[in-house]
Amino acid sequence: MSAAPGGAVGGAGGAAAGAAAGDAAMGDPADAAGTEAAGTEAAETQAAQTDAAVPDAALPDAPADAGGTGSDAPSGTGMTGADAPSGTAADMTGPPAPEAAAHGPRYALGQVSGTGGSWATGPDLLPADRLLDPGSQELDRLLTSEYEGSGHRTAHAAALTLIAVYAGRVTAAAVLQWALDGRVPDLRAENVLVRPSGHGIGGVWLRRNRMLTGAATAGLPAAVRPGAAAPAALCGHVGTSAGEQASARPGPGSSTCLPCFRAATLPLLHRAVLDEHLLPLADALHRRTRAGLRQLRGGVAHGCATALCASQADPDELALRWDEFSARAPGGIGQLGEVARVRRPDGTPRLVYLRRTCCLYYTSAEAVRCASCCLTGRAERLRAYAARA
């Protein structure tokens, strides 16, 4: 980590990258004035303030079971990849997770050039699996980029901002694609390269364009396994919402419906995005900077929720998907915030996420609280979100 004090927030390129990464690192004037919360929220606020005040060196070690990193990650996960049709498009609007990509630039994925296990990564692309090593040069580069781009004063504050913007951009396509049709793009750390961009992530590339398959879906009809076109409406199962009941009719030669398919692939999503990517990254950042592990995992939760809240899909459906995703998510993700519905000034509904941990972005050069900050009262956060177009 660079020892130089953080300067002003990066230029237009860094600001655009930060905006694409989510509001975890975006403040507006309405966010600057906090209110005192009551009950549980007051306790969460006090915990966040305490974490912010504790010197890095005094923070406890991460649990031994916090997740493998780098080459130490558990093997034998039962996951394999079904290669996408041939092609080595190097743009950011290529075929991986096409439905998710239609929801905005946050979900865009590129594929690096090369075949047969040899990829032209370039000096500005960082292999995500190297970021899981707390002593790696790659993690240092990414942290330094966020530290300098945000104008943070401490390494652990930069780590808390970084994990939120990272989770809200790098793995967003997998979370949203699963919510849309149950498929899981391969966004395991070993298959991902990222480009730092000051405050935020400048781009995400895949080494191989594929959907994951594994034991969780091995018994499903071929027509609905990951790698097929979007699974069709399949069985007589009653959907979890009115919007899904129309897509739960039986299909020829199949007995699986979309809700059942999505339930079958959820453990695969948890493993790929959380167990083998975001949670080990949080552990690495904890060990590298002494940032609080609970706060780091709160950034993971915020980023995963933002992957749903920022999309153009039906907010009611997305709320159900978040409940489904978070209820059994590892790392206590479901307990670190909540999704809520608000209405914009034009009356259209919007889904937002309210954090229960603090990312310390108010200590950056921008000196504002993020829109979801737990240091701001719940009612005020909802009013501020509702006032936005």
For 256-291, write each residue's pLDDT tens digit. Answer: 688 988 998 999 999 999 999 999 999 999 999 999
| pLDDT score, position 67 | 29
Yes or no: say if 342 and 208 are a contact pair by the CB < 8 Å rule.
Answer: no
Of 55-64, 141-150, 347-356, the poorest mean pLDDT is in: 55-64
Computed over every residue of the chain, the mean pLDDT equals: 71
What whole-number distance in Å separates Cα of residue 316 and Cα of residue 74? Answer: 36
Supply angle C-alpha 126, 127, 130, rounded to 5.
Answer: 105
Residue-by-residue DSSP string for 262-279: HHHHHHHHIIIIIIIIIH
365 DSSP 8-state letter = T
| pLDDT score, position 179 | 95
| pLDDT score, position 268 | 93
Q: Say whether pLDDT at 227 is over 60.
A: no
Higher pLDDT, 173 or 219: 173
Q: Say whether pLDDT at 28 is over 70.
A: no
pLDDT digits (tens, 9 = 90+) for 50-73: 333 333 222 222 222 222 222 222
| pLDDT score, position 86 | 25
| pLDDT score, position 52 | 38
Nearest Cα residue to 22 out of 153, 123, 169: 169
What whole-number distance in Å separates Cα of residue 290 and Cα of residue 279? Answer: 15
Q: Say whether pLDDT at 39 is over 80.
A: no
| pLDDT score, position 76 | 28
Nearest Cα residue to 276 out of 70, 63, 61, 62: 70
| pLDDT score, position 341 | 94
Higher pLDDT, 186 or 3: 186
Of 32-41, 157-166, 183-192, the poorest mean pLDDT is in: 32-41
| pLDDT score, position 334 | 94
What whole-number distance in Å separates Cα of residue 250 and Cα of residue 241? Answer: 17
pLDDT digits (tens, 9 = 90+) for 307-323: 999 998 999 999 999 99
Residue 336: burial class (beta carbons within 10 Å; 0-12, 13-18, 19+): buried
| pLDDT score, position 283 | 98
- Which residue do the tokens 């927030």 mark? 9
Q: What is the band of 374 on the pLDDT scale with cuts at 50, 70, 90?
A: confident
- Single-letter residue type at 177: Q
